[in-house]
């Protein structure tokens, strides 16, 4: 996903000199084309994410489309004051690119587990929050962020995520993608959890249960119409996210449903508000926290009416 996004951004930058990329001394397996071929559009700010963010704001206020890049917690939580006061307050045309969402850096421990940042970024005024599901969505997100005027945050995976969409998609910020149709329940996923959602939907179909699957690639603004339609049409919704159940996709959907008055069975599938006591691969940590396909299937079956 990371490579697809950066490659798409590079192709856009070749045609548009307003696009600049700033890195916090990271990304050297994918950022070389910018460094070598577009040196006037590339800045290595060093391990100084606060400075990187403020530099990006200055460039954006001078007419550039500025992208910052680092491991997920570093361009967000480490420099939250700069994100809030510099980027968001000034509605600067800065796009914060975070690689390694969720447990992608699982073996590096809690300092590198990005499991709260979506909720934190959702709270920031004027900030659009995006989490693509696969390389196809990531490429489309790069183009959409360039076209969108104003602050954005995008969370990318880095674990060789498979391509889930076949062919072109109608990717629009704030509009969910209906990846599979169904009227018995709805699985709403964000980011890399789409793969598990589709796997669970396929296994439910073997039980004659048809699940609608939505890829909610934009958490803010949330596609409220897609969520409310799912509640009315299917009566049962599960949200799937590699993030705390507080503040992320599950929280956003719960807030909307609570005020809608639509009767619906609902469950958030995500992480507790706690640091992971273990380290390991992303796949292993997903199993430990009930985010693997088998665990999600079990949670889904418990929620369905008997």
Residue 17 lies in a domain: yes
Claim to verify: residue 87 and residue 221 sit in the same structural domain: no
Residues 195 and 298 in one domain: yes
Supply the mean pLDDT for the chain.
Answer: 96
- Quick one: angle between helices 249-260 and 224-234, nearest 10? 60
* pLDDT of 45 over the 90 cut: yes
What pLDDT band is residue 305 in, cutting at 50, 70 and 90? Answer: confident
Angle made by CA atoms 192, 196, 200, in degrees to the nearest 5: 155
Interval 99-121 mean pLDDT: 94
- Given a cut of 80, is residue 306 above it in pLDDT? no
Domain residue limits at 223: 177-303
Instruction: Judge whether 165 lies within some domain.
Output: no
Q: Is 67 helix (H, G, I), strand (E, B) or coil?
A: strand
CATH of the domain at 259: 3.40.50.920
Q: How many CB atoms lie under 10 A from the CB of residue 46?
A: 11
pLDDT digits (tens, 9 = 90+) for 214-270: 999 999 999 999 999 999 999 999 999 999 999 999 999 999 999 999 999 999 999
Identify the pLDDT of residue 293: 96
The tally of CA atoms less than 13 A away on the side-chain side of residue 65 is 19
Q: Over 90: is that where the pLDDT of 57 sits?
A: yes
What is the pTM for the complete model shown?
0.96
One domain, residues 146 and 194: no
- The average pLDDT across 59-70 equals 98
What was the pLDDT predicted at 139? 97
Whether 169 maps to a domain, the answer reads no
Are 110 and 192 found together in one domain?
no
Alpha carbon distance 95, 128 (integer Å): 9
| Whether residues 6 and 151 fall in one domain | yes
Nearest by Cα to 95 from 134, 121, 113, 119? 121
Question: CA–CA separation, 255 vs 253, rounded Å?
Answer: 5
Verify that 148 and 203 share a domain, yes or no. no
Model pLDDT, residue 167: 85
Res. 28 pLDDT band, cuts 50 70 90? confident
Q: For residue 239, is it within any domain? A: yes
Q: Are residues 196 and 111 in the same domain?
A: no
From CA 33, how far away is CA 180, in angstroms rounded?
A: 37
Q: Which residue from 131, 150, 256 is spatially nearest to 194, judged by alpha carbons?
A: 131
Q: Give the C-alpha separation, 238 to 190, whole Å.
A: 12
pLDDT at 156: 96
* 90 within domain boundaries: yes
**Is residue 132 one of the residues assigned to a domain?**
yes
Q: What CA–CA distance (Å, rounded) separates 166 from 135?
A: 11
Please indicate, yes or no, whether residues 13 and 140 belong to a single structural domain of this protein.
yes
Maximum Cα–Cα distance for the chain, whole Å?
Answer: 62
Q: Are residues 87 and 14 part of one domain?
A: yes
CA atoms within 13 A on the CB side of 255: 13
Q: Which domain CATH number covers 65?
A: 3.40.50.970
183 and 106 within one domain = no
Q: Any residues with CB less than 8 A from the CB of 55 and at least 6 apart, and which?
A: 22, 43, 45
The mean pLDDT value for 180-202 works out to 97
| Domain count across the chain | 2
State whether 202 and 108 are in the same domain: no
Does residue 61 fall inside a structural domain?
A: yes
Distance CA 59, CA 22 (A): 10
Query: Which DSSP category does 276 fall into?
Result: -
**DSSP strands (E only) in 88-194:** 94-99, 128-130, 152-156, 177-180, 185-189
Residue 104 pLDDT exceeds 80: yes
Q: What is the spatial distance between Cα 230 and Cα 213, in angstroms, rounded to a whole number? A: 10
- Based on the fold, state whether residues 150 and 9 are members of the same structural domain: yes
Per-residue pLDDT tens over the stretch 136-176: 999 999 999 999 999 999 999 987 889 999 888 999 999 99
Asked if residue 171 is part of any domain, the answer here is no
Mean pLDDT of 99-124: 95
Sign of the four-CA dihedral 92, 94, 95, 101:
negative
């Amino acid at each position: 996903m990371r490579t697809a996004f950066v490659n798409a951004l590079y192709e856009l930058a070749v045609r548009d000199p307003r696009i600049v990329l700033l890195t916090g001394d990271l990304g050297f397996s994918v950022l070389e084309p910018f460094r070598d071929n577009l040196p006037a559009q590339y800045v290595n700010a060093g391990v100084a994410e606060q400075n990187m963010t403020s530099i990006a704001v200055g460039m954006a206020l001078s007419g550039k489309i500025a992208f910052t890049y680092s491991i997920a917690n570093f361009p967000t939580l480490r420099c939250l004051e700069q994100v809030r006061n510099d980027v968001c307050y000034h509605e600067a045309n800065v796009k914060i690119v975070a690689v390694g969402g969720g447990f992608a850096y699982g073996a590096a421990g809690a300092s590198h587990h990005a499991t709260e940042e979506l909720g934190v970024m959702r709270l920031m005024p004027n900030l659009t929050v995006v989490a693509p599901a696969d390389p196809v969505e990531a490429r489309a997100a790069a183009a959409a962020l360039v076209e969108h005027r104003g602050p954005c945050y995008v969370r990318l995976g880095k674990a060789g995520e498979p391509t889930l969409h076949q062919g072109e998609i109608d990717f629009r910020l704030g509009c969910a993608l209906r990846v599979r149709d169904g009227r018995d329940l709805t699985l709403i996923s964000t980011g890399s959890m789409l793969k598990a959602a589709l796997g669970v939907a396929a296994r439910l179909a073997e039980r004659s249960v048809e699940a609608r699957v939505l890829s909610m690639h934009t958490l803010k603004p949330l596609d409220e119409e897609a969520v409310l339609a799912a509640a009315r049409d299917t009566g049962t919704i599960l949200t799937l996210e590699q993030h705390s159940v507080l503040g992320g996709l599950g929280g956003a959907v719960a807030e909307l449903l609570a005020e809608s008055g639509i009767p619906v069975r609902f469950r958030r599938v995500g992480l507790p508000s706690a640091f992971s006591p273990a380290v390991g691969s992303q796949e292993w940590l997903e199993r430990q926290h009930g985010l693997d396909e088998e665990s999600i299937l079990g949670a889904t079956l418990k929620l369905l009416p008997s």
